[in-house]
Structure 1
Amino acid sequence: MSEKNIVLDVREVPKLSKWLIFSIQHLFAMFGATILVPFLTELSPAVALVSSGFGTLAYLLITRGQIPAYLGSSFAFIAPITSAMAIGGPEGVMIGSFLAGVVYGILSLLIAAFGTDWIIKVLPPIVVGPVIIVIGLGLAPTAIDMAMNVDGEYSGVHFSAAIVTLLITVIGSLLFKGFFGLIPILIGIIGGYTYSLVITAITNVKVLDASGVQAAWDKIVSSNSFGEAIQSIFLVPDFVIPFVTFNPVDAFSWSVVFLMVPVAIVTVAEHIGDQMVLSKIAGRNFLKKPGLHRSILGDGVATVIASLLGGPPNTTYGENIGVLAITRVFSVFVIGGAAVLAMIFGFIGIITELIGSIPSPVMGGVSILLFGIIASSGLRMLIDSQIDLGEKRNLVISSVILVIGIGGAHIDIPVGNGQVVPIAGMALSALVGLVLNLILPEKESGYGNGSMFARSEDEE
């Protein structure tokens, strides 16, 4: 890419008048997906915003301000968090998230010491692609349940809100251009919210409950002074902090660890793919400078920060990479500005209430598309890597991963005192895929002719 195509380079500081606009654009691009994860997993959307902001700033520092990437809530952890919540609650989830971040740190040290070639053996596309498909399809029942059902019972009115939301999001994804083309998820949520408000008034079926928003607004407008109004606007999110709100020793669970930690294997592969795409867009080799070990470490530290606050694990966001591709504004100061704005949003009470009032079918409608895209991205990895499924080895590995992951197979490991630790779903399918890839012959076929890992080695 020629220099003349760059509006703002990585280390350039924008003019104040444009800085805010550019940062708000990134905030909107990540907003819908970032709040969807805590919404689905019963974590706090406000804390997710704050932790994504903190995590992004930490990432920028660790990568020496050389990679313009925004980090938001990771979709790969939705199913594990949902299962972990039932076992150990949000406290247990935070411990699992913390250890997943530690895995990133360990991988970072290994990459710094031994390079990236060994990743080919651990994370070939024939393993990662099907596991990503499992992530998307495994979440499909959650999306449909949110879209169609209320307390387990079918509701046509609620389903209509999901369909309208889905249609608006799809139309936005296909037809909207420029800035609006970057935020179809947010537009879909706004459109679905508006429809839910109207349909609630027409049918008297409570699809949307905005009483919390109204109460927050009334509290602001009824303030007797400017200072009281400011106090009414800002609200401390429901942080989940170790040694402050809970004792991590009491909340520790091996079951949660085995549910969440293996997910880091998959998200690292997604991270590498994002870095390669970002490198092409910005005309730099971020895998070489500042180095893959730094970017993975930044991702891990962001996840650790989220776990110390009560937010979901963080990862680099493709939505914001899309913003960079269209605007050619690569300034890390713009990304940092978006991070600060996200943190501020997390402390504004009326915004928290507004997010909490989004109807489940609206989120279900958006999720139908997003979870399908996750599954399709796994398929795309296999295609881009030119994996030959005519090879029996590849066919066996992918088939076993898909059925074990989607079918809900699990292994219960005895840990004494009559207790067992289950390894289930995506975690089990990933581990089985890794083992099969290591023991079956003709490993080269699993890398593919267009492997993203092979390309990264060539670039370095």
Structure 2
Amino acid sequence: MPLWTLHGDGRTVAPGAVVAPHERLSWPATIAMGAQHVVAMFGATFLVPTITGFPVSTTLLFSGIGTLLFLLITKNRLPSYLGSSFAFLAPVAAATAIGGTGSALAGIVAVGVLLAVVGLVVQFAGLGWVDKLMPPVVAGAIVALIGFNLAPAAWNNYKLDALTATVTLVAVILFAVLFRGFLGRVSIFLGVVVGYVFAALQGKLDFSAVDEAAWIGLPQFHFPDFASPGTWSVIAMFLPVVLVLVAENVGHVRGVATMTDSAVNQHTGRALIADGVATTLAGLGGGSGTTTYGENIGVMAATRVYSTAVYWIAGAVAILLSFSPKLGAVFNSIPAGVLGGVTTALYGLIGIIGIKIWVDNRVDFSRPVNQYTAAVALVIGIAGFTMSGGGFELGGIVLGTVAALAIYHLGNLIARARRTGADDGGPIPAVGQLGGDPQD
């Protein structure tokens, strides 16, 4: 039995039809679409290692390998590209400052292992427990605080070259609002290109490393450091990222299922396992943690081609690109002003994704328990609260996540206890006090 059956004549997609995961177009069309997916993921995937200081080529290598592993683990039935996850930016920055790159990679490995374990549980027990642990008000708060926690990092780069940063930021916004379809989805990448050219015209680029880099060569590999005394406190900062990756993967699977076949939902556990394995492998070799990519979902929605064959091509192309040190050197030459401009938009957008979770799920913010769950978590994350002791230091992301989970679940536990007391003839809760319907 062939891996894919040919869709129609292999050249066109009829109005209202989709190319299912087990189908494909002609090979020339499939190869072209695979290359298009590489372009779609590239702008975001290269940006993460550029910001964190990880080797771009190594990240590309592991994103390509991770994509192929994802296809294998999901039995070639779930189309997805695994690119660099922005959820890792804040903990990687903090971990690098505390324990260096080795500690940051140890944190990425820990996230990958835990995500794979969550995937195994989901595969056998279903998603219900995840929904109960992390309802929309909590999930939205965690995603939002991860993005907003990075605001100071954006400003640190922005102020080094405010003019270039402003040009870059304006370009990102203009591409996003003026263009529809593919160009609008890659506005971050196009903004970086504009900022890079502007910096070059001002003579602010250093091409010496690009000139010295070889066209073909092996990526640089780095390895996690689990022996450093500060590594285990660093790992704690990474654990909330698991919740973000769960939400992203579940959303991806449901999106594909909506457009193709509801049976795709049965691969949710496998998707989580696959992303966990890919992230673990990336951390072991010096690459960025991975996640399913919204940019590629957008391309699939626009083209109506959900063939997994396209992603085999995309993964292979990414691996080939990773063996060009000169390409990595080009991205490493991006100046701070460009990064400051693009991250001002990018980090804000991560925060907005969290708010969108609230909007999409119609979270009721008239309930005090929801108000405080979001409010306290966001302030902790934005202000960068820290807590140290016993050789551990917990940052704003960890503390904000703990606060969101604790306030929501303890608040609803108290509310249920008070309602039970009222039903038994106990005191009736006062209007406006903490409580209300525990369901969002």
Q: TM-score normalised by the shorter chain: which range applies?
A: 0.7 to 0.9
Q: Distance in 2 between matches of 1:252 and 1:238?
A: 24
Q: Which residue of 2 aligns with 1:240?
A: 222
Give matches, 1:114-193, under 5 Å.
114-149=125-160, 158-193=161-196
Q: Which residue of 2 aligns with 1:270?
A: 248
Q: Distance in 1 between matches of 2:229 and 2:35?
A: 38
Q: Report the residue type matching 1:162 in the other structure.
A: A
Q: Distance in 2 between matches of 1:397 and 1:427?
A: 14
Choose which of 407, 416, 421 in structure 2 pairs with 1:436. Answer: 407
Q: SS where residue 64 of structure 1 aligns?
A: coil
Change (3 A) 1:161 1:120: same
Does the Cα contact within 8 Å between 1:123 and 1:269 map onto a contact in 2? no
Q: SS where residue 202 of structure 2 aligns?
A: helix
Choose which of 13, 23, 30 in structure 2 pairs with 1:12. Answer: 23
Q: Report the residue type matching 1:264 in the other structure.
A: V
Give yes or no for the alignment of 1:209 onto 2:187.
Answer: no
Structure 2 residues not aligned, in runs of 5+: 1-12, 417-435
Deviates most, 438-447 or 334-343: 438-447
Q: Distance in 1 between matches of 2:437 and 2:329?
A: 51
Q: Report the residue type matching 2:152 in the other structure.
A: P
Q: Distance in 2 between matches of 1:317 and 1:167?
A: 24
Q: Which residue of 1 aligns with 2:355?
A: 379
Q: Which residue of 2 aligns with 1:104?
A: 115
Q: After superposition, what is the alpha-carbon deviation per residue over 1:191-222, rounded to whole angstroms, capped at 9, x for unaligned?
A: 1111111122xxxxxx2212222344xxxxxx
Q: Which residue of 2 aligns with 1:397?
A: 373
Give matches, 1:14-163, under 5 Å.
14-149=25-160, 158-163=161-166
Change (3 A) 1:447 1:363: farther
Change (3 A) 1:252 1:138: closer
Q: Which residue of 1 aligns with 2:393?
A: 422
Q: Report the residue type matching 1:192 in the other structure.
A: G
Q: Which residue of 2 aligns with 1:227?
A: none
Q: Report the residue type matching 2:407 in the other structure.
A: L
Give yes or no for the alignment of 1:408 onto 2:390.
Answer: no
Does the Cα contact within 8 Å between 1:7 and 1:328 map onto a contact in 2? yes
Q: Distance in 2 between matches of 1:325 and 1:13?
A: 15
Query: CA shift at 1:261, angstroms?
Result: 2.1
Does the Cα contact within 8 Å between 2:151 and 2:382 map onto a contact in 1? no
Give yes or no for the alignment of 1:324 onto 2:324.
Answer: no
TM (norm. structure 1) is: 0.84
Does the Cα contact within 8 Å between 1:96 and 1:260 map onto a contact in 2? yes
Structure 1 residues not aligned, in runs of 5+: 150-157, 201-206, 217-231, 415-419, 449-460
Q: What value does the CA root-mean-square deviation take over the aligned residues? A: 2.1
Q: Report the residue type matching 1:353 in the other structure.
A: A
Query: CA shift at 1:283, angstroms?
Result: 4.6
Q: SS where residue 205 of structure 2 aligns?
A: coil
Query: CA shift at 1:69, angstroms?
Result: 0.9
Q: Distance in 2 between matches of 1:118 and 1:421?
A: 29
Change (3 A) 1:445 1:125: farther
Query: CA shift at 1:285, angstroms?
Result: 4.5
Q: SS where residue 5 of structure 1 aligns?
A: coil
Q: Report the residue type matching 1:321 in the other structure.
A: I
Give matches, 1:297-376, under 5 Å.
297-376=273-352
Q: Report the residue type matching 1:53 in the other structure.
A: G
Q: SS where residue 20 of structure 2 aligns?
A: coil
Q: Report the residue type matching 1:214 in the other structure.
A: D
Q: Distance in 2 between matches of 1:168 and 1:380?
A: 24
Does the Cα contact within 8 Å between 2:142 and 2:401 map onto a contact in 1? yes
Q: Report the residue type matching 1:346 in the other structure.
A: S
Q: SS where residue 315 of structure 1 aligns?
A: strand
Does the Cα contact within 8 Å between 1:28 and 1:186 map onto a contact in 2? no
Deviates most, 66-75 or 248-257: 248-257
Q: After superposition, what is the alpha-carbon deviation per residue over 1:288-338, rounded to whole angstroms, capped at 9, x for unaligned?
A: 3xx211111111111011112111110111111111111111111111211
Equivalences, count: 407
Query: CA shift at 1:424, angstroms?
Result: 1.6
Q: Distance in 1 between matches of 2:337 and 2:406?
A: 39
Q: Distance in 2 between matches of 1:129 and 1:389?
A: 13
Does the Cα contact within 8 Å between 2:253 and 2:264 map onto a contact in 1? yes
Q: Distance in 2 between matches of 1:82 and 1:295?
A: 27
TM (norm. structure 2) is: 0.87
Query: CA shift at 1:384, angstroms?
Result: 1.0
Identity over the aligned pairs, expressed in percent?
Answer: 34
